[in-house]
């Protein structure tokens, strides 16, 4: 069985028939489009999910494969893997949100296979608005919000039992996207509270593997002074509320930071060697 590190290295290898990662993504998107030929519609995250499946594994026979095994109690289990590369003993799970839903599946998979959990993150978004009555689509405009790899930390929070399993790695994939939203919101311009119809990958901005303590520590901005308050870390990560709190817990679980004290109710942390 290959190690998680080797598995990740393999997924970055460019096939001979591709000029670049961008061309590889474009080809994957074209193939994914054949699954949803009707164009813009209520596909939610399905197009992004299908595109990444073809990106990491062009062979459709490896997609949506039933994987079976036996638990420690001798009971059999069966789960469907997004991608199962049998010869390598490697599985890809592409999850757009809610990592906690993967917990039981991962616990079973990791007994026999290496696993990469792929998390697509919008890097730059170009938003077009769709009129629900006429179907007219506006010209795209770039959103001021820009995503970063650190956003995966809030999702990893839902996997405390397997987070540091030696057969598991996470892959944060930064994608530039076209996003189509329907003008059905509650505000006067119909934009606030509107529903997203579809996201279409445009380009691949970056990919970051998160597996070791060092990988987790690399997500902490270098310009954050040490030691630091919990709220300072959350602000530096650009994650607030429950997401920020979850990210701090994940970094602590990974051994990337250490709680060393408090000033009143303000917890103090330091980077852990």
CATH number at residue 235: 1.10.10.10
CA atoms within 13 A on the CB side of 105: 18
Residues 242 and 141 placed together within one structural domain of the fold: no
Q: What does the pLDDT read at residue 10?
A: 37
Q: What does the pLDDT read at residue 196?
A: 79
Q: What does the pLDDT read at residue 97?
A: 86
Q: Find the domain containing 113 and state its range.
A: 4-211
Residues 238 and 138 placed together within one structural domain of the fold: no
pTM over 0.75: yes
Residues 184 and 219 placed together within one structural domain of the fold: no
Q: What does the pLDDT read at residue 188?
A: 81
Distance between CA atoms of residues 188 and 58, nearest Å: 45
Ranges of residues in the chain whose predicted pLDDT is under 50:
1-16, 41-44
Residues 43 and 122 placed together within one structural domain of the fold: yes
Last residue of a domain, one of 182, 211, 240: 211
Q: What does the pLDDT read at residue 190?
A: 76
Last residue of a domain, one of 178, 211, 244: 211
Total structural domains in the chain? 2
Residues 234 and 159 placed together within one structural domain of the fold: no
Q: What does the pLDDT read at residue 45?
A: 58
Q: What does the pLDDT read at residue 41?
A: 47
Q: Give the model confidence (pLDDT) of 81-111 as tens digits.
A: 999 999 999 999 999 889 999 999 999 999 9
Going by the DSSP 8-state scheme, the letter that residue 44 receives in this structure is: B
| Extended beta strands in 47-191, E state | 63-70, 76-85, 90-94, 114-130, 141-142, 168-182
Q: Which helix (H) or strand (E) holds 6?
A: helix 4-12
Residues 79 and 132 placed together within one structural domain of the fold: yes
Residues 219 and 205 placed together within one structural domain of the fold: no
Residues 110 and 202 placed together within one structural domain of the fold: yes
Residues 17 and 117 placed together within one structural domain of the fold: yes
Q: What does the pLDDT read at residue 36?
A: 66
Residues 207 and 218 placed together within one structural domain of the fold: no
Residues 26 and 117 placed together within one structural domain of the fold: yes
Residue with tokens 């930064």: 174
What are the CA-CA distances from residue 125 to residues 13, 132, 147, 272 (Å)? 27, 21, 9, 35
Q: What does the pLDDT read at residue 40?
A: 52
Residues 35 and 98 placed together within one structural domain of the fold: yes
Last residue of a domain, one of 211, 236, 256: 211
């Amino acid at each position: 069985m290959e190690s998680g590190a080797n598995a990740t290295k393999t997924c970055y290898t460019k096939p001979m028939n591709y000029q670049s990662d961008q061309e590889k993504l474009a080809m994957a998107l074209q193939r994914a489009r054949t699954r949803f030929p009707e164009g813009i519609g209520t596909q939610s995250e399905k197009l992004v999910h299908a595109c990444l499946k073809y990106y990491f594994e062009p062979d459709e026979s490896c997609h949506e494969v039933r994987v079976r095994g036996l638990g420690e109690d001798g009971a059999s289990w069966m789960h469907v893997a997004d991608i199962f590369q049998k010869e390598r003993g490697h599985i890809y799970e592409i999850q757009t949100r809610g990592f906690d839903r993967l917990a039981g599946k991962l616990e079973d998979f990791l007994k026999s296979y290496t696993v990469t959990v792929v998390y697509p993150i919008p890097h730059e978004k170009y938003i077009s608005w769709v009129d629900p009555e006429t179907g007219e689509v506006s010209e795209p405009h770039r959103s001021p919000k820009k995503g970063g790899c650190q956003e995966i930390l809030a999702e990893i929070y839902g996997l405390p039992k397997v987070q540091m399993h030696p057969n598991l790695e996470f892959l944060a994939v930064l994608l530039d996207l076209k996003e189509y939203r329907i003008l059905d919101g509650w505000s006067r311009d119909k934009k606030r509270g509107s529903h997203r119809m579809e996201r279409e990958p445009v380009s691949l901005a970056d990919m970051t593997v998160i597996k070791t303590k060092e990988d987790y520590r690399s997500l902490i901005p270098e310009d954050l002074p040490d030691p630091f308050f919990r709220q300072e870390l959350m602000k530096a990560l650009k994650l607030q509320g429950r997401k920020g709190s979850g990210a701090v817990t994940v970094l602590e679980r990974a051994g990337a930071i250490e709680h060393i004290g408090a000033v009143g109710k303000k917890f103090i942390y330091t980077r852990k060697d």
